[in-house]
Structure 1
Amino acid sequence: MRTHLLSVRVRDGRFAHWPADPAVVDAHLPAGVGVATYDERAWLGVVAFVMEDIRPRGSRVGRTFPEVNLRTYVTRGEESGVYFFSLDADDRLSVSAARSAVRAPVLPRADGRRPRGRPPQTAERTRPPGRAPRTPERLYGRDDDSFVPEPGSLPAFLTENDRFYARGTCSTRSTRLYRDDIAHEPWRLVPADATVHEESLFRAAGFESPTGEPLVHVAEPLDVTAGSLATAEE
């Protein structure tokens, strides 16, 4: 991994994934990355966390805010990782500071608005209509079923990724593909059920709204470090 520049404790993590046609997902990806599949299916995920005590290396002050993203899984040469279609956070100051610290580009927004408040946990989330990107509104976990994904399994494919890609616009307004590396212990997951009444992240990224029940996992808290964001060619 590149030099550790940021640290954060990730808590209240929720992964909701839907299978998708690889050709459909691949058509939405930028040049330089290709869709990754598991059992010949691509996957689109709505993933929400609380980013707790996020801080640049050496800083004594951290901030906490919720974040939600729409993602898929990709390959670039012999490398694999996550591709973000959107990243939305609830704290403008923290996002600005983090992007400055890692030279991050301005990433695509899901719909130009930010999510409000804490992401959903085990209770129903309520929001004013149209206020924010919609994610699964009910999540029920089963604590006695917690597990660490086995290498090569579908849960590992969907969660155990240490490289991230996103297409962003830098200060020169040229669109580039960026990447970053993270490091953490393996996720401990809990299977969960979700009810989705409405969503907007898929539509904002140009996909049709998902159908069918998602594959859902709730994650136990985890400490994460991130390196320096760079163009994918570096």
Structure 2
Amino acid sequence: MRAPPSPTVSRPVMHQRWSELTFVHWRYPAGVVAPLLPPGLTVETFDGSAWVGLVPFLMKGVRLSGTPPLPWLSRFPETNVRTYVHDESGRSGVWFFSLDAARLPAVLGGRAGFRLPYFWSDMSVTRDATHWTYRSQRRHTGVRANLDVNVGPHLNSPDELAHFLTARYRLFNLVSGRLAAATVEHPPWPLNKATLTHLDETILQAANLPAPDNPPLLHASLGVPVRVGMWH
């Protein structure tokens, strides 16, 4: 099955690459997730379930439009907790419960410039050909997300659920008290099968989500280049 086409961001405010990324997803009852969303957003379901993602990865080449990437600032681990929603116009997108990053300037910029719930964490991403390791511990609180992942073969034809969980080209947030959206442009994710060999996390609980009661679904990716538009 082919992924939905990406929109074009004609005036990006940021460029980056999301690399060495693992999507870890669990089913949740829609009634558990819905109260955590702001007015104007509705949980999107697949096979009757809401889905919550824990997504660790490595940011590379982060830069504002018209500026070069700075070596130390432009490369760092990040982990987000997210779910899938649509607004009152039916536009689909992502709602972030939290985003952890290893660079304080990125955290401050994400909070001030994009009004996103960023947190400063001690983090690392390591990988060999088939084993990827993510470590994250939020400073001052100890909220953690530690994962070991075995990466399997490439998925030549990802199924409908894989596209539902990964082909997301819009993010929502509250900006000055109103619901805003930003468009994200990137090519289709090159996805691999993956299995979770170790998980030690409190980051879902920190987002006011109960512990999952079902096994996770994983997809891994070497990554994609990304162009991000401004809130509108």
- TM interval, shorter chain, is 0.7 to 0.9
Aligned mates of 1:73, 1:129 — CA distance in 2: 24
Compared CA separation, residues 42 and 128, structure 1 to 2 (3 A): closer
In 2 relative to 1, CA 2–176 (structure 1 residues): closer, same or farther, beyond 3 Å?
farther
Distance (Å, rounded) in 2 between the aligned partners of 1:137 and 1:179: 30
Q: Distance in 1 between matches of 2:136 and 2:99?
A: 19
1:143-222 pair list within 5 angstroms: 144-147=153-156, 149-150=158-159, 153-167=160-174, 174-222=176-224
Please tell me whether residue 117 in structure 1 is matched to residue 128 in structure 2: no
1:143-166 CA-to-partner distances (Å, cap 9, x unmatched) read: x3333535xx00000000100013
Paired AA for residue 60 in structure 2: E
Contact 1:166-1:177 at 8 Å conserved across structures: yes
Q: Write the distance in 1 (CA, Å) between the matches of 2:155 and 2:230.
A: 32
Deviations along 1:34-69, whole A, 9 cap, x unmatched?
000011111000011111010001102331111111
Instruction: Name the counterpart of 2:97.
Output: 85
Tell me, what secondary structure is at the counterpart of 2:12? coil
Query: What is the aligned length?
Result: 216
Q: 2:83 matched to 1:72?
A: yes
- Any conservation in 1 of the 2:27–2:214 contact (CA below 8 Å)? no
Structure with the higher strand share, 1 or 2: 2
Segment drifting more, 13-22 vs 220-229: 220-229
Say which SS state the counterpart of residue 61 (structure 1) adopts: coil
- Deviations along 1:104-155, one digit per CA (max 9) or x if unpaired, are 11x335xxx533232365255567899754335210011x3333535xx000
| Equivalent position to 1:140, from 150, 160, 172 | 150
Does the Cα contact within 8 Å between 2:54 and 2:80 map onto a contact in 1? Answer: yes
Report which stretch shifted further, 200-209 or 122-131.
122-131
Instruction: Give the C-alpha shift of residue 3 in structure 1.
Output: 1.6
What is the DSSP-based 3-state SS (H/G/I as helix, E as strand, rest coil) of the residue aligned with 1:203? Answer: helix
User: Is 2:136–2:146's contact at 8 Å kept on the other side of the alignment?
Assistant: no
| Contact 1:108/1:167 (8 A) holds in 2 | no
Could you say what secondary structure the match of 2:31 adopts?
Answer: helix
Identity of aligned residues (%): 31
Q: Match of 2:125, SS?
A: coil
Shift of 1:79: 0.6
Counterpart for residue 16 of structure 2: 8
Distance (Å, rounded) in 1 between the aligned partners of 2:135 and 2:36 = 31
Task: Give, in whole Å, the separation in 2 of the partners of 1:205 and 1:186.
Answer: 28
Tell me which amino acid in the other structure corresponds to 1:82.
V
Paired with 1:90 and 1:67, the residues of 2 have a C-alpha distance of: 7
Amino acid at match of 2:108: S
Q: How far apart, CA to CA, are the structure 2 residues paired with 1:127 and 1:54?
A: 20
Whether the aligned pair in 1 keeps the contact of 2:100 and 2:138 (CA below 8 Å) is no
Q: Which has the larger displacement, 29-38 or 131-140?
A: 131-140
> Residues 128, 30 of structure 1: CA spacing in aligned structure 2 closer, same or farther, 3 A cutoff?
closer
- Following superposition, the deviation at residue 6 of structure 1 comes to 0.8
Measured in 1, the distance between the counterparts of 2:81 and 2:94 equals 10
8 Å CA contact 1:114–1:133 kept in 2: the answer is no
Change (3 A) 1:133 1:146: farther
